[in-house]
Structure 1
């Protein structure tokens, strides 16, 4: 009898709780997959463009791109709701985009706003848009049905393949609130019927301070993280390689390789300057070589390895110098400084001054494995 009473009470409570819970029936809501932020027509306003997928009772989906302008992002969301027959939900949002104007102004407000929203996943991707936001999101593409989902897949596959730096909300917020690291994001743009990643954006204190080409993402990633996989192309110049290897080539030797394993070691050797030793070991497979070089000859392979090492060292040093020019430590040297110097009391302002004059001794040791294997 007691057991029966217990089960009846439990069932009654479940019914009561289920009745109190807010239900979101799929055909009554619009799922926001992407949100883009731009400067409004009035300077203090925010122009918000949302890509929303609606599902009908017959399970047919429809994608709408809706723009609203208000003083806050929450106000823009309310205004967008007034334009649609279905309630907008952000639980399925996958991408947050910023126009260059917004990115150069300051994005910390948007970082905080989305961190405080429990409905928004910390895994949502963030990126900067080159050119007008409307041109990217409102354009009628011939072969892209859902521009929100398309941009999400574009970022996802390039980040997972390690062709691009990760820029989830979690990573961006971590870098923003770190005293010794700055934000870095992909830049995307529309190129006729395609959407492409065109570069990477460097930030200082939440403001976009400069950009690099998308190809340079390889160097940024290899400086700040251990690289696991992914293809890379470079061109060896005359100053990189011995004259004997250049005799049957033009002024440069194009080649492509993929990385099997990298090992990055960063050490602070002088806290006053400051000065770091950055040692990077790379094991890679040669995928393509536009030259008559005999990669079956061990001595020639050794010369080729030295040439690639020299070339990568030069490019890595170049990218670090550009970061110093933009006053943007997207590499995390400041984090290493803070953990190495006792009672450093590092602040973003203090590190920006040190970072501008920082010295990095770069050493790259590239080794070819299974040389001669081509795709």
Structure 2
């Protein structure tokens, strides 16, 4: 009786084993992109790694047209003898037309339902996803999916990108009072793709863009542990003269150029009045390059430079906040801060946006120079 029971259990277990996957028959997708053709039709492009010894190329790019991502996937399968697998999918690209006109949340909902797709895959926007995936101008990475992944992964490790993976983006997207951002990849003839800007989104639609360096103003108030990156300021020499900062060499131009490296930072958002929000921040920095050279050998000269840098950064932050307010997008999370106050805890996303668009935003950045000339 025991023998029959053991035999039955063995047969039952083997019935539960998933179907065998032979490597040579797999087409491993590393990147997929979606382009809008018209109101209801999309083109999906995918890069596949293949390990069949009979094939000369180790990767191929195929495209298909459909009205949903599932239909596109089905038509992509019809174009290859390999079984398309998503277990190594690392990046999803959207063209600007989808990002601006349609929104990307419907595509992400489908991705999140697929158990084979991880939540740490990267998301990015570009002008034409098919052209990016078919780009072969970078010999070190002939398979573009691997190159784009390495490109985005490097910037995320350096903390220059904000919520650029599926998990972080979705968390921000569905939280009331804050909007997500995504990297924009540029693809020019004769050059490898690169990260050109960062897209500003209102809900799941792109409404504008900023340079990578301006993301420091977002990180300043959203992540105290994030790296702000080196900050370069170009200040007219006449401003230095007004501040009483002395040059120690003859200038070659009409600008004072300085690069500072943040050591630590802290930022706060306060609702000071019904219609006024104050954003205050302090950045401790080291000066790593100064052109032309100035006197920094006493506390008085350092204090003057700290004041000058603080004023310049405060002005840039003020202009940045005004740009965000005009676009009615809130990647800093001012609305989230307002909603955290009991009086406004019941406000909906629509109510917060209306309040945000009419707010008076006052900003101040204080700079503290901790080191002069030290570079790690």
TM-score by length of 1: 0.89
Correspondent of 1:214 among 212, 215, 226: 212
Matched, 1:252 2:250: no
> Do 1:295 and 1:372's aligned partners in 2 also have CA atoms closer than 8 Å?
no
Offset, 1:243 = 4.0
Offset, 1:202 = 1.1
State how far apart, in whole Å, the 2-side matches of 1:246 and 1:347 are. Answer: 53
Offset, 1:276 = 2.1
Offset, 1:94 = 1.0
Which runs of 5 or more residues in structure 2 are unaligned? Answer: none
State how far apart, in whole Å, the 2-side matches of 1:299 and 1:18 are. Answer: 79
Offset, 1:257 = 2.0
* Counterparts in 2 of 1:55 and 1:346: CA distance versus 1, 3 Å: farther
Correspondent of 2:122 among 121, 125, 143: 125
> Do 1:162 and 1:227's aligned partners in 2 also have CA atoms closer than 8 Å?
no
Offset, 1:37 = 0.8
* Counterparts in 2 of 1:142 and 1:152: CA distance versus 1, 3 Å: closer
Matched, 1:112 2:81: no
Q: CA-to-partner distance for each residue in 1:32-77, whole Å, 9 max, x for gaps?
A: 111111112x531111111111123699971211111111101111
Offset, 1:235 = 1.9
Q: CA-to-partner distance for each residue in 1:107-137, whole Å, 9 max, x for gaps?
A: 12112112222221111111110x3223222
State how far apart, in whole Å, the 1-side matches of 2:92 and 2:206 are. Answer: 16
Matched, 1:70 2:66: yes
State how far apart, in whole Å, the 2-side matches of 1:365 and 1:285 are. Answer: 14
Matched, 1:268 2:266: no
State how far apart, in whole Å, the 1-side matches of 2:81 and 2:69 are. Answer: 20
> Do 1:236 and 1:308's aligned partners in 2 also have CA atoms closer than 8 Å?
no
Q: CA-to-partner distance for each residue in 1:78-108, whole Å, 9 max, x for gaps?
A: 1111111111111211111110000012112
* Counterparts in 2 of 1:187 and 1:79: CA distance versus 1, 3 Å: same
**CA RMSD across the alignment:** 2.5
* Count of residue pairs the alignment pairs up: 366
State how far apart, in whole Å, the 2-side matches of 1:96 and 1:50 are. Answer: 10
Offset, 1:326 = 1.0
Residue in 2 aligned with 1:137?
133
Question: Which segment drifts farther, 179-188 or 298-307?
Answer: 298-307
Correspondent of 1:198 among 196, 199, 202: 196
State how far apart, in whole Å, the 1-side matches of 2:21 and 2:280 are. Answer: 53
Residue in 1 aligned with 2:233?
234
Matched, 1:312 2:313: yes
Which runs of 5 or more residues in structure 1 are unaligned? Answer: none
Question: Which segment drifts farther, 156-165 or 329-338?
Answer: 156-165
State how far apart, in whole Å, the 2-side matches of 1:12 and 1:321 are. Answer: 71
Residue in 2 aligned with 1:98?
94
Which secondary structure does the structure 2 equivalent of 1:118 belong to?
coil
Residue in 1 aligned with 2:41?
45
> Do 2:87 and 2:117's aligned partners in 1 also have CA atoms closer than 8 Å?
yes
State how far apart, in whole Å, the 1-side matches of 2:313 and 2:132 are. Answer: 35
